[in-house]
Structure 1
Amino acid sequence: MTVEKHVRIHETATVDPEAHVAKHATVHDGASVAADARIGKHATIHENARIGEGVVVGKHATVHSGAHVGREARLGKHVTVQTGADVAADARVGKHSTVHE
């Protein structure tokens, strides 16, 4: 796992050793980040959210509690994935977008 400066990862979060978490990102309790996922600067992964294999989460993006981002999906900068929402595998979500449940 590559973790840059000032990252916060809760002790109950699971981050795969092959994942990358950029500066000032936060991974909350119970969240999981799979292999080859990249969490951008200032991004937030909330409680029990699941980030699939190979996912890219853009700068300042937020994935809320219980949301799921499928493998190889791409979230642009400032994207919000609402509580309980599901982003399909290989999906592309453009910057400043919101994904609803």
Structure 2
Amino acid sequence: MTAWVEACATEDIDEEDVIRFDHGSSTYAIYRSAEDEFFATAGLCTHEKVHLADGFVIDNIIECPKHNGRFDYTTGQAKGAPVCVNLKTFPVKIESGKVFIEVE
């Protein structure tokens, strides 16, 4: 069963940045693109389980802070070694200045 969960306010994330959001036993990464769009992925790198919110965002790429693995946060696609497993992505909606993600 899925549910929409409020993750943060839109103003909590700067353009081309990421924040961490914890819900239940899961960690998510919430992104704001340079085009003012919002995205959500699993919050831990698929390589070493490091929090992606501590990483570096440029364009539509999140770079893991530990081994510099990169993912396209809009699709979850792994973009090269050492990461080879894609990130799970989650639907996002904006309502009244709040960012909601659909979680399981």
Using the size of structure 2 for normalisation, the TM-score is: 0.29
Structure with greater strand share of residues: 2
* Structure with greater proportional helix content: 2
Greater relative contact order (CA < 8 Å, ≥ 6 in sequence): 2
* Larger-gyration structure (1/2): 2
